[in-house]
Amino acid sequence: MAGAISPTPCIFCQIARNSTSTTLLHTDEKVVAFHDINPSAFRHYLVIPVEHIPTVKDLQSRHEDYSLVSHMLNVGQTLLRRDAPQSEQYRFGFHQPPMNSVDHLHLHCLALPYIPRWKHLKYLSLGPFGGFIEAEKLLEKIKPFSSIPS
């Protein structure tokens, strides 16, 4: 369920509230962005919602969730275009349970190449077994059904 309160102290909630020494690259009323502490690429940022949402499995086909993920993607794309314009390839996506390292929704924004090269393994889709889902595929999955005009 979106907006749930984390039963244990959530490091990403603390970052979103600016309660840590983490340098924020972007902040607004919906999301914050910062450097991944264990980068897997030339540039590796995380974009997280201020609201505690545990995983992609907690998102639903509703306008609010679609709008949030779309905003997260836009922020990540803007940051990487600004900070790594020379990169020839970018990846944007989410780890899915059981592969997520922190139970707080977070978008990985990667300006490739992977560093070291083997880190690409963390960002493979494993289909029904979880793995990594591209942000665009997640948006397709949670796109709200539009009402048909009468």
Task: Enumerate the active-site residues.
Answer: 108
Q: How far is CA 135 from CA 18, 52, 106, 109, 126, in A?
A: 25, 18, 11, 10, 15
Which residues, listed in sequence order, are joined to residue 139 by a DSSP beta bridge? none
Look at the chain and count its residues.
150
Residue pair 103/10 in contact (Cβ under 8 Å)? The answer is yes
Q: Which long-range contacts (CB under 8 A, 24 or more apart) does 142-148 make?
A: 142/59, 142/60, 142/61, 142/62, 142/65, 142/66, 142/69, 143/61, 143/66, 144/61, 144/62, 144/63, 144/66, 145/61
Torsion sign across C-alpha atoms 110, 21, 5, 8: positive
